[in-house]
Amino acid sequence: METINFDTKTVGEIVAHNPKAASVFRKLNIDFCCGGNKSFTEECKKKKQDPAEIWEEIELLSKTGDKSLDFNNLKLDFLIDYIYQVHHQFLYKNLPEIRYFVEKVCTKHKDKYAYLTELATVYTILEEDLLGHLPKEENVIFPYGKSLVTASEEHAQVAPPFFRTVKNPISMMNSEHEEAGELLFRLREITNNYTPPVDACNSHIVMLSKLEELDTDLTQHVHLENNILFPKLAALEMEIMTH
């Protein structure tokens, strides 16, 4: 990873530059997706961590293991396809299965574990929000984003969209991402970071494991959109409109 001055960077910019930083931030419970526009230095201090030491850990991690996909330098149409094929499809496939386990465990054990009633409520809201959210991206932002890429490659203009500028639907998506982020944060809180009770049955353990997978995938999903795709689409639109 090239040397950059971490004092001036946000956590979102750091993960966009080096995806492996995400695992360090997750360990410290630093939000790099919805809250990605916050100062790296300030967020470290809030967690009572030395920013220089955390930065060393991130740099060390970036030199080891398999190289992650360099999302920051992917072509935007490829990035759109990646988000749809990997992250949207993950949700379509996994949400019904997670709901099955949430309902099963809550029905059977809500009297024994007080947190299950709230967990079922929070999960239901999150699932409904996501299933309403995904089609907006797939039917509005993604096709328009691809038309911007084509226009840029062909040095052509793009027809003005009904939403006037991509910044308008992006603003709505960011707001919905923030709501989803708050729901995830609450799930982490009430499950003690998805830690099963000592006497939890297998279904209970599976439910928490699947919720943790959802958390990890959704956090990466929102990061790719908020910190990479959306700012680049807004910049590309501006570039095309001003030529």
> Roughly what angle, to the nearest 10 degrees, separates helices 142-153 and 230-241?
50
Q: What is the pLDDT of residue 32?
A: 80
> Residue 3: its pLDDT value, please?
54
Euclidean distance between CA atoms 48 and 156, whole angstroms = 51
Q: How far is CA 169 from CA 21, 59, 111, 142, in A?
A: 28, 35, 43, 11
The ranges assigned to domains in the chain are: 6-62, 74-241
Low-confidence spans in the chain with pLDDT less than 50: 1-2, 66
Q: pTM higher than 0.85 for the full model? A: no
At 48, is the secondary structure helix, strand, or coil?
Answer: coil
| Among 85, 37, 83, 17, CA closest to 225 | 83
Q: Return the bridge partners of 39, or none.
A: 10
* pLDDT score recorded for residue 2: 47
Residue 239, CB half-sphere, CA atoms under 13 Å: how many? 13
Closest CA to 188 of 110, 115, 112, 109: 115
- Of 47, 71, 40, 87, give the one whose Cα is nearest residue 216: 87
